[in-house]
């Protein structure tokens, strides 16, 4: 009897547990169903607005999927980056119905990798990262496009005929073309700004050699150029892009030509770092420059008028508000000029230029309708679409200025409607919209600040592209060959070399550049650096006639 109640009790309890389990699973089911219902609703409600009025017309168009960078900057009332005024316009006016797959800009490579690995990648993929696109090529994830261009393209084919370098830049080692891109004029991208009012005040001239540069920097630091009676200025920045420009001055760009061979430029590296060490030891730069990893502190010092020589940019009207306007607000008397990089024993080099032929887009090898993908690319590369995406509707969004170029009608309206849509221009060849698209036509000479900056842009064009100025690397970084996996590991291992040199800059006599060089060589040899050397030198020997090199870049120099 007792045993009976006992088992009854266990049975009851077990039933209880089973019931609990069933309830739990029921709850999951209910939850899952309600989710579907919710989804259905939201789809139903969003569908009409998506298709707009042209629903029936679009039914016949082939569908493709296209990646688009998402930067979290689309105003809420404009929709999302994947569904907005411009995607609707493109689908209404284009030959295909594109479905946009937003790719978060910050993690784009990771997200695209995931999508490719799980066969979910869009048909048309846009990505700036050259090595990622090369990886897709090596994995045979993307299509060779020569035939597609031949058969289906109109506007892109015309562009390629006009600018044969596009094919050169898009061709992969197997001799076929895999990428699409855009063409821009070659411009001075980075600019070596110097405070001309300081030069005048201290009776100095524009430095032409590293030695003169050192003297100017020394005077800027020690002779109180801002006249406030305190020694609170720095001659030059060492962090951020200014540090990079000092490297460029000595042609410290890792791989350099020597007797027709591409070799590692150790000598140049030593010279650049010895110069930086001299500046540091003489107390002419911010002692904490290593902590300023992205150059922000240096930028703030420039803005507040505490640095005399600084590398900024002159490629876009937005640079005015970053590099010039704050300085003029803080120091109304400041006078800035953009100068040439001083000539070192290695030559005189451009500070930094843009990539005139930039590859951005590939077609997924698994695309169901490559023809439609090609037609989409053709659409995006056409001048009319480019103009529409850049300036919006003439009349509504833009008006023609006195120089005949389209300009935003109302800046606030333009920002809201268009400024976030720049990622739809990854196939737009700006050179076709010249002379209107460049910064020279976008700045308004009637505005005093813009007039000043226009002058800086012109000075910087001369500084970067003028007579006797060379490009320090053999080509733009995006056109350098991509390392195979095992060699990228080596490159990562030897990247510590930079730490040795930084240590040398800040350690005074305790650790010299020679010691850093010895330690760097040791690491280089131990890590298999000679494999990198033979890779680059072989690549150059085999490809110097076909690769897209500096001389090709210089074909896109602005003709004024």
Partner 1 sequence: MKPSLGERIYLIGVYMVLTVAALMCLLPLVHIVSVSTSSLQAVASGRVTLFPIDASLEAYRQLIDGTPIVRAMWNSAYITVAGILFSMTFTVLAAYPLTRSYFIGRRMYTFAIVFTMLFGGGLIPTYMTIRSLELINTYWSLWLPGLVSVFNMLVLRTSIENIPSEIDEASRIDGCGEWRYLLRIVLPLSMPVLATLALFYGVGYWNSFFNVLMFINDPAKFNMAVLVQQMIQSQTMLSQLNALGSSEQLQLSPEMVNAAAVVVMVLPMLVVYPLLQKYFVKGVMIGAVKG
Our CB check for partner 1 shows the closer of 16 and 283 to be: 16
Write out the binding residues for partner 1, residues 414-473 only, by CB under 8 A: 415-416, 419-420, 422-423, 425-426
- Nearest distance from C-beta of residue 118 to partner 1, angstroms: 5
Q: Which of 57, 107, 232, 384 binds partner 1 (CB under 8 A)?
A: 107
Q: Does 76 bind partner 1 (CB under 8 A)?
A: yes
Q: Which stretch binds partner 1 (CB under 8 A): 113-121, 191-199, 204-212, 361-369?
A: 113-121
Our CB check for partner 1 shows the closer of 233 and 299 to be: 299
Within 8 A by CB and 6+ apart from 323, the residues are 191, 193, 299, 302, 310, 312, 313, 314
Helices (H), 139-209: 146-152, 155-162, 165-170, 196-201
Our CB check for partner 1 shows the closer of 170 and 216 to be: 170
Q: Which of 64, 66, 70, 153 binds partner 1 (CB under 8 A)?
A: 70
Our CB check for partner 1 shows the closer of 354 and 527 to be: 354
Dmax of the chain from CA atoms?
114
* Kind plus residue range of the DSSP H or E element containing 436: none
* Kind plus residue range of the DSSP H or E element containing 398: strand 398-400
Question: Cα(89)–Cα(100) distance, rounded to whole angstroms?
Answer: 13
Q: Does 10 bind partner 1 (CB under 8 A)?
A: yes
Print the binding letters for residues 24-63 with partner 1: x by CB under 8 A, - otherwise: x--x---xx--x---x------------------------
Residue 142 bridge partners (DSSP): 364
Residue 226 has phi, psi (to 5 degrees) of -90, 0
In the three-class reduction of DSSP (H, G, I as helix; E, B as strand; rest coil), residue 264 is classed as: strand
Q: Does 310 bind partner 1 (CB under 8 A)?
A: no
Our CB check for partner 1 shows the closer of 273 and 319 to be: 319
Write out the binding residues for partner 1, residues 82-101 only, by CB under 8 A: 82-83, 101
DSSP 461-507: HHHHHSTT-B-SSSS-GGGSPPPPHHHHHHHHHHTTHHHHHHHHHHS
Q: Does 364 bind partner 1 (CB under 8 A)?
A: no
- Nearest distance from C-beta of residue 291 to partner 1, angstroms: 14
Within 8 A by CB and 6+ apart from 371, the residues are 62, 148, 151, 152
Distances (CA, A) of 555 to 164, 315, 356: 11, 18, 9
Residue 281 has phi, psi (to 5 degrees) of -60, -35
Closest CA relative to residue 72, chosen from 99, 108, 18, 32: 108
Within 8 A by CB and 6+ apart from 347, the residues are 251, 470, 472
- Nearest distance from C-beta of residue 330 to partner 1, angstroms: 6
Q: Which of 49, 330, 488, 534 binds partner 1 (CB under 8 A)?
A: 330
Q: Which stretch binds partner 1 (CB under 8 A): 85-93, 212-220, 270-278, 313-321?
A: 313-321
Q: Which stretch binds partner 1 (CB under 8 A): 109-117, 338-346, 366-374, 504-512?
A: 109-117
- Nearest distance from C-beta of residue 175 to partner 1, angstroms: 26
Question: Cα(20)–Cα(559) distance, rounded to whole angstroms?
Answer: 79
Q: Does 529 bind partner 1 (CB under 8 A)?
A: no
Write out the binding residues for partner 1, residues 202-261 only, by CB under 8 A: 240-241, 244
Question: Cα(105)–Cα(73) distance, rounded to whole angstroms?
Answer: 11
Q: Does 300 bind partner 1 (CB under 8 A)?
A: yes
Residue count, binding to partner 1 (CB under 8 A): 76
Closest CA relative to residue 432, chosen from 389, 381, 476: 381
Q: Which stretch binds partner 1 (CB under 8 A): 79-87, 222-230, 361-369, 529-537?
A: 79-87
Q: Does 297 bind partner 1 (CB under 8 A)?
A: yes
- Nearest distance from C-beta of residue 164 to partner 1, angstroms: 21
């Amino acid at each position: 009897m007792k045993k009976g109640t006992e088992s009854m009790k266990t049975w009851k309890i077990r039933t209880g547990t089973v019931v609990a389990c069933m309830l739990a699973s029921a709850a999951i089911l209910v939850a899952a169903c309600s989710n579907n219902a919710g989804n259905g609703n939201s789809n139903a409600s969003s569908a009409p607005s998506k298709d707009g009025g042209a629903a029936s017309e679009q039914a016949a168009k082939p569908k493709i999927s296209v990646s688009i960078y998402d930067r979290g900057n689309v105003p809420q009332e404009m929709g999302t980056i994947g569904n907005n005024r411009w995607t609707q316009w493109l689908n209404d006016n284009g030959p295909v119905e594109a479905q946009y797959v937003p790719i978060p800009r910050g993690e784009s490579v990771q997200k695209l990798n995931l999508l490719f690995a799980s066969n979910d990648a869009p048909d048309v993929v846009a990505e700036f990262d050259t090595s990622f696109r090369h990886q897709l090529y090596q994995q045979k994830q993307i299509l060779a496009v020569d035939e597609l261009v031949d058969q289906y393209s109109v506007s892109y084919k015309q562009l390629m005929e006009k600018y044969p370098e596009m094919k050169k830049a898009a061709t992969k080692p197997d001799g076929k073309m895999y990428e699409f891109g855009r063409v821009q004029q070659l411009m001075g991208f980075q600019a070596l700004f110097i405070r001309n009012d300081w030069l005048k005040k201290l009776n100095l001239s524009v430095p032409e050699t590293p030695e003169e540069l050192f003297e100017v920097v020394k005077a800027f630091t020690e002779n109180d150029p801002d006249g406030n009676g305190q020694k609170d200025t720095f001659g030059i920045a060492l962090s951020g892009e200014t540090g990079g420009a000092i490297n460029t001055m000595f042609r410290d760009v890792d791989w350099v030509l020597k007797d027709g061979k591409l070799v590692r430029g150790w000598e140049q590296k030593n010279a650049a770092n010895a110069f930086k060490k001299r500046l540091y030891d003489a107390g002419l730069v911010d002692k904490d420059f290593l902590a300023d990893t992205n150059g922000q502190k240096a930028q703030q010092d420039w803005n507040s008028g505490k640095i005399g020589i600084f590398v900024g940019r002159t490629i876009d009207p937005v640079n005015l508000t970053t590099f010039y306007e704050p300085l003029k607000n803080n120091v109304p008397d400041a006078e800035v000029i953009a100068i040439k990089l001083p000539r070192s024993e290695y030559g005189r080099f451009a500070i930094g230029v843009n990539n005139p032929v930039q590859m951005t887009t590939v077609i997924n090898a698994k695309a169901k309708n490559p023809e439609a993908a090609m037609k989409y690319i053709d659409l995006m590369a056409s001048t009319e679409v480019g103009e529409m995406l850049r300036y919006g509707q003439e009349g509504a969004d833009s008006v023609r200025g006195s120089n005949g170029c389209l300009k935003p009608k109302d800046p606030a309206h333009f920002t809201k409607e268009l400024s976030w849509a720049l990622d739809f221009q990854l196939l737009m060849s700006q050179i076709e919209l010249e002379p209107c698209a460049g910064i020279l036509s976008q700045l308004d000479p009637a505005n005093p600040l813009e007039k000043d900056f226009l002058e800086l842009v012109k000075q910087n064009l001369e500084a970067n592209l003028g007579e006797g100025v060379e490009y320090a690397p053999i080509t733009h970084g995006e056109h350098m060959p991509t390392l195979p996996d095992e060699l990228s590991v080596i490159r990562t291992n030897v990247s510590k070399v930079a730490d040795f040199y930084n240590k040398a800059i800040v350690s005074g006599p305790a650790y010299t550049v020679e010691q850093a060089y010895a330690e760097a060589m040791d690491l280089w040899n131990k890590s298999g650096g000679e494999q990198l050397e033979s890779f680059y030198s072989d690549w150059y020997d085999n490809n110097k006639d076909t690769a897209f090199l500096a001389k090709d870049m210089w074909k896109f120099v602005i003709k004024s």
